[in-house]
């Protein structure tokens, strides 16, 4: 293999890398440039992240304009979260429905009657609430509701009297759900908060309390927060699991493509050495084009069809193109089974590792070590001086006959 061919192959490789950079940047632009606008559209149609605040209670201090806060004696909250993903462009948005039901016991521990001002804030000011009910003891609330201002009620309590404030609704949100303790109190008594999900991959937002218990329930989880007298300013929250997003995933696979092609070029060069197959740089060019076809098809098929189906179709097309071309161009001298196995390993397996979060680096590391071991084994007895012969200079005396400058012996002197 001459230096000129190595330079030509390197130029082809760099040109393919430039193509992948452009394709990856285009896919990333399609994913991120429109995600903000489309995300706003999804929130306008579906809802925003929900933050349900605990109801606040305040009692006027007689003879002054000041008020003192009052804590509910009991807090029973039941929440059910069901995922309902929405797709816009190349992004899946983690939308969900929320069924909320809360019962709060308000107790007057004073020896005199009190009037407590109750304020309940909705989790989203512009949200839509279905199946809304509200009761003070057994009395239903039938007045007008302003979701921006929330609900204001005046609760009259005789000495030692308790009343239950009950509220329930069904609404929709996105990304996460939170329950916020009353920040003016920083304390909650007899808390029993249960969140039931239809997913088992549960995670929690930063700065939120983890549940006291978690157990499987149907197809999801039952998360429970319980406390008799809890002092905290942290929220209770649950993150909705992200669905596999085809746009960012395809972009990462495309940017990683030069590594896959580099490994395959090394494999082709090794076959060239071991099997004495004459492989021209133009063959490398068409191999790179076959690799590029995989990412080109994948980038534009993830929109109309699912990512897994698009991946399989792209892989089959690319392997067929590369393997079929090498067999046809080299007239059966090229070991197509090794080429197909190499492409499945370096292109398909390495790319599919991106489907599993945190597994890509490990897969590539193991694949690289295995490849190195195989190459060291099969090339251990190769005479590299024969593969890369050095140009030798011939003596001038040996070159003279070829240019007609050889000297004939001097004629004998006839006079002697």
Least confident among 31-40, 104-113, 139-148, 269-278: 31-40
Q: What burial letters (b/e) apply to 41-55, b meaning 16+ CB within 10 Å?
A: ebbeebbbbbbbbbb
Q: Specify whether the CB–CB gap between 159 and 113 falls below 8 A.
A: yes
Cα dihedral sign, 19-339-356-47: positive
d(CA 100, CA 173): 12
**Does pLDDT of 250 surpass 50?**
yes
Helix/strand/coil for 194: strand
Cα dihedral sign, 20-302-29-245: negative
Helix/strand/coil for 366: helix
pLDDT-based confidence at 96, cuts 50/70/90? very high
Q: Tell the CATH topology of 50-239.
A: Immunoglobulin-like (2.60.40)
Q: Which residues pair with 97 in a beta bridge?
A: 82, 172
Least confident among 52-56, 177-181, 241-245, 342-346: 241-245
Q: Which residues pair with 86 in a beta bridge?
A: 93
CA distances for 407 relative to 298, 396, 399, 402, 412, angstroms: 71, 13, 12, 12, 15
d(CA 233, CA 188): 10
**Does pLDDT of 376 surpass 80?**
yes
pLDDT at 183: 78
> What average pLDDT is seen over the chain?
85
CA distances for 342 relative to 156, 257, 319, 321, 327, angstroms: 79, 14, 10, 14, 15
Q: Specify whether the CB–CB gap between 242 and 22 falls below 8 A.
A: no
**Does pLDDT of 333 surpass 80?**
no
Q: Where is mean pLDDT largest: 47-51, 191-195, 227-231? A: 191-195
d(CA 31, CA 250): 10
- Nearest in space to 278 (alpha carbons), one of 39, 2, 44: 2
Q: Where is mean pLDDT largest: 111-120, 159-168, 264-273, 398-407? A: 159-168
Largest Cα separation within the chain, whole Å, is: 159
pLDDT-based confidence at 45, cuts 50/70/90? confident
**Does pLDDT of 113 surpass 50?**
yes
d(CA 375, CA 318): 24
**Does pLDDT of 80 surpass 90?**
yes
Kindly report the backbone phi and psi dihedral angles of residue 63, in degrees, each rounded to the nearest multiple of 5, phi listed first.
85, 10
Specify the higher pLDDT residue, 320 or 144: 320
**What percent of the chain lies above the pLDDT cut of 90?**
38
Compute the average pLDDT of residues 45-55. Answer: 88
Compute the average pLDDT of residues 357-363. Answer: 80
> What is the tens place of the pLDDT at every residue in 380-416?
877 777 777 766 555 554 444 544 444 455 555 554 4
**Does pLDDT of 338 surpass 50?**
yes
Domain layout of the chain by residue ranges: 3-32+245-384, 50-239
pLDDT at 409: 54
Specify the higher pLDDT residue, 276 or 136: 136
């Amino acid at each position: 293999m001459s230096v000129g061919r190595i330079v030509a192959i390197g130029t082809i490789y760099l040109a393919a890398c430039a193509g992948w950079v452009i394709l990856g940047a285009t896919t990333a632009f399609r994913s991120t440039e429109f995600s903000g606008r489309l995300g706003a559209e999804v929130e306008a149609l579906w809802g925003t992240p929900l933050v349900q605040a605990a109801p606040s209670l305040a009692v006027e201090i007689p003879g002054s304009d000041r008020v003192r806060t009052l804590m509910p004696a009991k807090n029973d909250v039941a929440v059910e979260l069901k995922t309902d993903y929405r797709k816009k462009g190349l992004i899946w948005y983690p939308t969900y429905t929320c069924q909320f039901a809360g019962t709060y016991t308000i107790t007057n521990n004073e020896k005199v009657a009190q009037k407590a001002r109750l304020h309940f804030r909705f989790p989203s000011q512009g949200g839509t609430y279905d199946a809304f009910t509200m009761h003070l003891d057994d009395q239903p609330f039938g007045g007008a509701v302003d979701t921006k201002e929330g609900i204001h009620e005046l609760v009259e309590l005789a000495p030692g009297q308790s009343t239950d404030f009950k509220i329930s609704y069904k609404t929709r949100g996105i990304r996460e759900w939170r329950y916020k303790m009353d920040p003016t109190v920083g304390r909650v008594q007899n808390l029993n908060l249960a969140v039931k999900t239809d997913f088992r991959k549960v995670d929690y937002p930063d700065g939120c309390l983890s549940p006291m218990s978690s157990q499987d329930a149907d197809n999801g989880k039952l998360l429970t927060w319980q406390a008799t007298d809890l002092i905290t300013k942290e929220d209770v929250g649950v993150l909705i699991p992200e669905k596999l997003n085809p746009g960012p995933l395809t972009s990462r696979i495309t940017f990683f493509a030069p590594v896959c092609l580099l490994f395959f070029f090394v494999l082709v060069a090794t076959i060239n050495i071991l099997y004495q197959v004459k492989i021209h740089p133009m063959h490398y060019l068409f191999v790179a084009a076959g690799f590029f076809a995989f990412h080109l098809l994948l980038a534009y098929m993830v929109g109309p069809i699912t990512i897994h189906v698009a991946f399989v179709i792209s892989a089959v097309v690319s392997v067929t193109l590369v393997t079929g071309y090498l067999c046809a161009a080299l007239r059966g001298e090229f070991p197509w089974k090794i080429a197909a196995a190499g492409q499945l390993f370096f292109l398909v397996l390495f790319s599919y590792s991106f489907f599993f979060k945190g597994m890509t680096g490990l897969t590539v590391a193991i694949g690289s070590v295995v490849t190195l071991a195989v190459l060291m084994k099969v090339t251990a007895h190769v005479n590299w001086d024969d593969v890369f012969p050095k140009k030798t200079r011939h003596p001038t005396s040996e070159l003279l006959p070829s240019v007609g400058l050889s000297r004939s012996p001097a004629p004998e002197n006839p006079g002697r």
